[in-house]
Amino acid sequence: MLVRHGESNWNELKLVQGQNNEATLNDRGREQAREAALRLRNQDFDAIMSSDLARTLETAQIIAPEIELTITTTSALRERSFGDFEGRPLGEMTPSLSGIENHVVVDDKAHPKNGESLLELWLRVGSFVESLREQRRDQRLLLVTHGGTIHALRAYCAGEAPLHHYWYRVENCSVWTVE
């Protein structure tokens, strides 16, 4: 299962977060994480893994006691890097930078300066999925991560390339199932 982190101060300000680690959960985000923890507490997970960025790690730290597991962090679950664009208003992110237009990936190689393309994100999470298949094949995992990473994980696991992928909204602390 996948969980997106709770609302952060940068979500609230509508700033591009990416891999910037200044974004932290706000009070609403902590409450969302507590609610997610209650929804997940009767699940039978073998492990909880989290992105190592502060907003996801704090979300995982709220969830972990409810499912009685210790968190393993990994940079493989980080959000897509937006490079020099991180911290800027989300409304300034154009399709030529994001690769997304009208909620559809139109250019999987587009990226902001010093940032990561959607194809690079998809390849990064794909490598992570393959390592999980080798090392944790029969385990039921809870992965606490980011919206873009959830898109990439779901597409990779479904055998879909990022180009032409529909880019739907991934709500804070929403829970997604992946086989």
Name residue 79's beta-bridge partners. none
C-alpha to C-alpha distance for 136 and 142, rounded to whole angstroms = 12
pTM: 0.95
C-alpha to C-alpha distance for 143 and 1, rounded to whole angstroms = 6
- Asked whether the beta carbons of 84 and 114 are under 8 A apart, the reply is yes
| 79 catalytic per annotation | yes
**Which residues in the chain land under pLDDT 70?**
none
What does the longest C-alpha to C-alpha distance in the chain come to? Answer: 44
Domains assigned to the chain: 2-86+95-176 (3.40.50.1240)
| 5 catalytic per annotation | yes
Active-site choice (7, 58, 79, 86): 79
Select from 152, 159, 85, 143 the least CA-distant residue to 121. Answer: 152
- pLDDT tens readout for residues 97-135: 999 999 999 999 999 999 999 999 999 999 999 999 999
Name residue 48's beta-bridge partners. 71, 142
pLDDT value at residue 99: 97
